[in-house]
Every structure is written in structure tokens, then in C-alpha cells.
Amino acid sequence: EPEVTQTPSHQVTQMGQEVILRCVPISNHLYFYWYRQILGQKVEFLVSFYNNEISEKSEIFDDQFSVERPDGSNFTLKIRSTKLEDSAMYFCASSLQESQYFGPGTRLLVL
């Protein structure tokens, strides 16, 4: 059964540094998402992407965040200048219609 994959599984960075989180959605899916989950808390929506553009974004997704689909398979989340409060698990998800399937996540730690 196809699954969403994400790399890296863990990322440690210094405050102010740029990070890029990578995702490979399920191949025939059309909608792509990024969510984050701060330790012990609920999953929070960041952004959705369809037809090569952002379709919706939350208040969390400010100018420090950007997404890109650089080729036919990858979907990336960039954080330009990381802050301590960006430390969280970041999940990519994809869907063909309603059902969203999540990747294993990237645990980001900002020091």
C-alpha cells in the first residue's frame, strides 16, 4: 500500500537558520498539506496546496514559511529563519479527495 514519506526524520538546527522539510506524497494524490504537532498537543493545520498553488493557509503559516513542489514527486516546507517555538513534529499529508494520509513526520528541534 503506498504511503507518504518524509525526510529527514529528525532535524536539529540553530535559531535563525533555514530548514527545508521534504515530503513525497502518494503518487496519484492531488492535494498536499503540512501540519505540525507540538509535543503532547493536537495536530494543527499549516497549509494546503493544490494545482501548484497554496489553496489555504493558517495564521501559523506566516512569511517565514513557504511551500514548493519543485518536481512531480516532492513537496517541501521551508522555514526561513527558525524560532524556538518552531520546534515540533511536522507532518505532510496528501489526499485524492477527502481522506488525508499522513507521513511519518519530521521532528524539528530549534536550539
Partner 1 sequence: GENVEQHPSTLSVQEGDSAVIKCTYSDSASNYFPWYKQELGKRPQLIIDIRSNVGEKKDQRIAVTLNKTAKHFSLHITETQPEDSAVYFCAASKNYGQNFVFGPGTRLSVLP
| Residue 13: all three cell numbers together | 538546527
Using CB under 8 A as the binding rule, whether residue 54 contacts partner 1 is answered as no
Among the listed ranges 13-21, 26-34, 66-74, 77-85, the one in contact with partner 1 (CB under 8 A) is 26-34
Among the listed ranges 12-20, 41-49, 68-76, 80-88, the one in contact with partner 1 (CB under 8 A) is 41-49
Residue from 17, 20, 50, 85 binding partner 1 (CB under 8 A): 50
Residue from 11, 13, 22, 45 binding partner 1 (CB under 8 A): 45
Q: How far apart are CA 3 and CA 28, in angstroms?
A: 11
Residue from 23, 75, 103, 106 binding partner 1 (CB under 8 A): 103
Omega before residue 104 within 30° of 0, cis = no
Nearer to partner 1 by Cβ, of 65 and 101: the residue is 101
